[in-house]
């Protein structure tokens, strides 16, 4: 049987949730997971210039809050929390 | 006022057809007139889940092409007099039907029924577009797995882009024991990710498979899943029904069951 926790001590349920979140975030904005991760890091860098930021707890959520048709392309308005 | 509801998921095998059959039975048990439409042309299976596979004479494509009247193709359920099935065609493919034809068909069914429930094929192609074009409301079925959740998110995006305002979620096949051990995402985890309204969660129980083996629903049976589907039907009909806490309910049922076993 596979070990039940990863090196961070997460159970497979938590790992699944993290993977689902990451996959969906990159699907929503049409960016690869690496790019999404890099964006997350850069946003964290900027924010930490101005405030105290716990990078372990730092989380960003990307949500599509609007869609408009522009020609053949679907333009999405995203909100980052 | 009748409603056209599409049951969809993106990913295959998460329980769309089983959910459609059970929701239909639940609504029929509340004395609603319900028709379940199998929109998966070429791969029919709702008839088998409902145990009506031997009664098919005409199908959806026959109705659309005018080979028969709608009422001739409808098959009445064995248990509920208000529940009907419109089976899909086995020998045709998706291109036999257009979204416009599906809208017209759904319109004619709303003259007869309180609820028209469309069992959508897996995928996001023609069959999905046909079924969703005719619906005002959608029920997205997912399971607590990364793949199913990812597809559900895609589907929700497409439904929103298609102008469907009311989108509800069913989280199917929850294994309470695994959630407790942290080896499965909980209903809350799934809701966190998908951010849509929860219609209900269905525990992964043997009873669902056994009922489907017999071509029956779990509605009215003494199971947690039967109760969960019944609650979903009541919520669809507009009742406010509190969510079952699966964790406590499962241990409670266990206790009741073991009480009976002791005798």
What are the domain boundaries of chain B?
3-262
Distance from CA of B174 to the nearest CA of A (A): 12
* pLDDT tens digits, one per residue of B96-149: 899 999 999 999 999 999 999 999 999 999 999 999 999 999 999 999 999 999
Residue labelled with tokens 């009311």? B166
For tokens 């349920």, the residue is: A13
With bands split at pLDDT 50, 70 and 90, how would you rate the model's confidence at A71? low
Chain A residues lying within 8 Å of B145, measured CB to CB = 16
Please give the model's pTM, rounded to 2 decimal places. Answer: 0.86
In this structure, are residues B64 and B96 in contact, taking their beta carbons and an 8 Å threshold? yes
Q: Check CB contact of B183 with chain A, cutoff 8 Å.
A: yes
Taking any CB pair shorter than 8 Å as contact, residues of chain A touching chain B are: 4, 11-14, 16-17, 19-21, 23-24, 27-28, 63-64, 67, 74
CB pairs under 8 A between A and B: 49
Fold adopted by B3-262: Rossmann fold (3.40.50)
Nearest chain A Cα to B175, which residue? Answer: A13
When CB atoms are compared, the residue of A14, A28, A67 closest to B182 is A14
pLDDT-based confidence at residue A55 (cuts at 50, 70, 90)? confident
Binary contact (A24, B195; C-beta < 8 A) = no
Name the β-bridge partners of B169.
Answer: B140, B198
Which residues in B lie closer than 8 A to residue A74 (C-beta atoms)?
161
Q: Which residue of B has its CA nearest to A30?
A: B154
Chain B residue closest in CA terms to A24: B150
Instruction: Convert B16-76 into a string of H (helix), E (strand) and C (coil).
Output: HHHHHHHHHHHHHHCCCCEEEEECCCCCCCHHHHCCCHHHCCCCHHHHHHCCCCHHHHCEE
Q: How far apart are CA B219 and CA B230, in angstroms?
A: 6
- Out of A21, A67, A74, the one facing B193 most closely (by C-beta) is A21
Task: State the complex-level ipTM.
Answer: 0.83
Q: In which band, very low, low, confident or very high, does the pLDDT at A75 lie, cut at 50, 70 and 90? A: low
Nearest-by-CA chain A residue for B190: A17
Instruction: Give the burial class of B253: count Cβ atoms within 10 A of its Cβ; 0-12 exposed, 13-18 middle, 19 or more buried.
Output: middle
The answer to whether the beta carbons of residues A36 and A43 sit under 8 Å apart is no
With b for 16 or more beta-carbon neighbours within 10 A and e for fewer, the B167-183 pattern comes to bbbbbbbbbbebbeebb
């Amino acid at each position: 049987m596979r070990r039940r926790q990863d090196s961070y001590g997460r159970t497979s349920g938590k790992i699944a949730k993290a993977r689902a979140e990451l996959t969906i975030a990159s699907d929503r904005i049409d960016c690869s997971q690496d790019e999404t991760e890099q964006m997350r890091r850069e946003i964290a860098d900027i924010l930490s210039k101005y405030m105290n930021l716990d990078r372990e707890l730092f989380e960003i959520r990307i949500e599509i809050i609007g869609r408009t048709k522009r020609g053949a392309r679907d333009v999405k308005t995203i909100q980052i929390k | 006022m009748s409603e056209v509801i599409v049951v969809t998921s993106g990913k295959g095998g998460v329980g769309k057809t089983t959910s459609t059959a059970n929701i239909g039975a639940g609504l029929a048990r509340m004395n609603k007139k319900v028709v379940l439409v199998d929109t998966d042309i070429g791969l029919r299976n709702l008839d088998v889940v409902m145990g009506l596979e031997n009664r098919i004479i005409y199908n959806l494509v026959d109705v659309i092409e005018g080979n028969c009247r709608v009422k001739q193709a409808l098959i009445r359920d064995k248990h509920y007099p208000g529940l009907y099935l419109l089976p899909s065609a086995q020998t045709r493919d998706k291109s036999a039907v257009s979204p416009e034809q599906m809208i017209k068909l759904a319109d004619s069914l709303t003259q007869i029924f309180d609820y028209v429930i469309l069992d959508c094929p897996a995928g996001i192609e023609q069959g999905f577009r046909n079924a969703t074009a005719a619906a005002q409301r959608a029920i997205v079925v997912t399971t607590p797995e990364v793949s199913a959740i990812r597809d559900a998110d895609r589907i929700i995006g497409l439904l929103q882009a298609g102008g469907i305002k009311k989108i509800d979620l069913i989280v199917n096949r929850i294994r309470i024991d695994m959630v407790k051990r942290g080896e499965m995402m909980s209903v809350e985890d799934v809701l966190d990710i998908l951010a849509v309204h929860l219609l209900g969660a269905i525990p992964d129980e043997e009873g669902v498979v056994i009922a489907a083996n017999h071509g029956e629903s779990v509605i009215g049976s003494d199971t947690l899943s039967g109760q969960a589907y019944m609650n979903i039907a009541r919520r669809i009909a507009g009742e406010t029904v509190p969510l079952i806490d699966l964790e406590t309910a499962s241990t409670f049922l266990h206790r009741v069951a073991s009480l009976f076993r002791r005798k």
